[in-house]
Amino acid sequence: MSLDPVRIADYVREISHDEILSRFEKLEAHEIQDKAAGEMVTSADIEAERQLTRLLTDLCPGAVVAGEESIAEHPERIHDVLEADLSFLIDPVDGTNNFIRGNHRFAMMVVALKKGATVAAWIYLPRDDVMAVAERGSGTLLNDEKVKLPRPPADISKQIAAAHIKRMPDDLKEMARENLKKFLKNSPAFCAGYDYVSLLRGWKHFSVYFRTLPWDHLPGSFMIREAGGCSRRLNEEEYTIHERGKGLLSTLTEPQWYQVRDALFPGRF
């Protein structure tokens, strides 16, 4: 079963404009619901996922298509995604809390998998009209131009972090909070898609997360690797949809990965 990355990118852009941007800064109270502690879902999330699911199913008959919201309702769907010859995972609005507040740092993300292995990914920033696309073995494109990651500053005091430490265990959180002072600044977007695109643009030099849900991180981690960067678990294991460990560090180069990991968590891993 073949993919059509250009058409899928067009679908992502179309649905983002029709179902997400059309509601930006226009949400009414009844369109916002609590999903879990500190997490919200909106009509934009639900409709964007529904419409993109329909288009992907029509484009790739027989593929399994699931999204963050459908899996929240039916957790067993993740097993179908893992086992399918071709499957798609959708994060309809990554950075929902930003979206609700009128903050432009939100994204739509899609990842394609074959038997659980990532083969392509799409990240779109609707408010900025920035599209990132990656295919296995073909590199990463940003608005149709191949990404060449810059070399990070050798001195970590000049590096900009996107470190999300809130969900870390207390000991790791305190260690990271103190050691982040070694870097120029920490500027997390609270939207994984936005942070990964910022790395691809060279605006930030690394990102680190503790909770690593597949719809949040498979697309961006894959894109960083395809662009020549390094993205793996803090214990150096590969990050895949099968991996249930915690923690994910993405950097512009492999030497930087060790430099940042050991500066943030000295002697821990």
* Residues 5-61 pLDDT 10s: 999 999 999 999 999 999 999 988 888 887 765 678 899 999 999 999 999 999 999
d(Cα 242, Cα 79) in Å, to the nearest integer?
A: 10
What is the model's pLDDT at position 242? Answer: 84
Q: Does 230 share its domain with 130?
A: no
Give the Å distances, CA to CA, from 127 to 42, 122, 166, 171: 17, 16, 26, 37
What is the model's pLDDT at position 38? Answer: 63
Residue 2, CB-side half-sphere exposure with 13 Å CA sphere? 3
In a domain? residue 66 = yes
Q: Does 26 share its domain with 118?
A: yes
Identity of the amino acid at 136: R
Torsion of CA 67, 69, 70, 72, to 10 degrees: 120
User: What residues are designated binding site?
Assistant: 68, 91, 94, 216
Q: Does 13 share its domain with 77?
A: yes
Q: pTM for this one?
A: 0.95
Considering 91, 124, 146, which residue would you say is the last residue of a domain? 146
Q: 165-210 pLDDT, tens per residue?
A: 999 999 999 999 999 999 999 999 999 999 999 999 999 999 999 9
Q: Does 45 share its domain with 138?
A: yes
What is the model's pLDDT at position 243? Answer: 73
Considering 146, 176, 199, which residue would you say is the last residue of a domain? 146
Give first-to-last CA distance, the chain, whole Å: 40
Q: How much of the chain exceeds pLDDT 90, in percent?
A: 87
Structural domain tally of the chain?
2
**Alpha-carbon torsion 219, 162, 168, 71, what sign?**
negative
In a domain? residue 258 = yes
73 or 114, greater pLDDT: 114
What is the helix (H) or strand (E) element at residue 258, kind and residue range? helix 254-264
Which CATH number is 107's domain given?
3.30.540.10
Identity of the amino acid at 52: L
Whole domain around residue 70: which residue ranges?
A: 5-146
Q: Does 28 share its domain with 134?
A: yes
State the average pLDDT over residues 223-249.
Answer: 92
In a domain? residue 223 = yes
**Bridge-partner residues for 141, per DSSP?**
133, 146
Q: Is 101 helix (H, G, I), strand (E, B) or coil?
A: helix
User: What residues are designated binding site for Mg(2+)?
Assistant: 68, 91, 94, 216
d(Cα 51, Cα 260) in Å, to the nearest integer?
A: 40
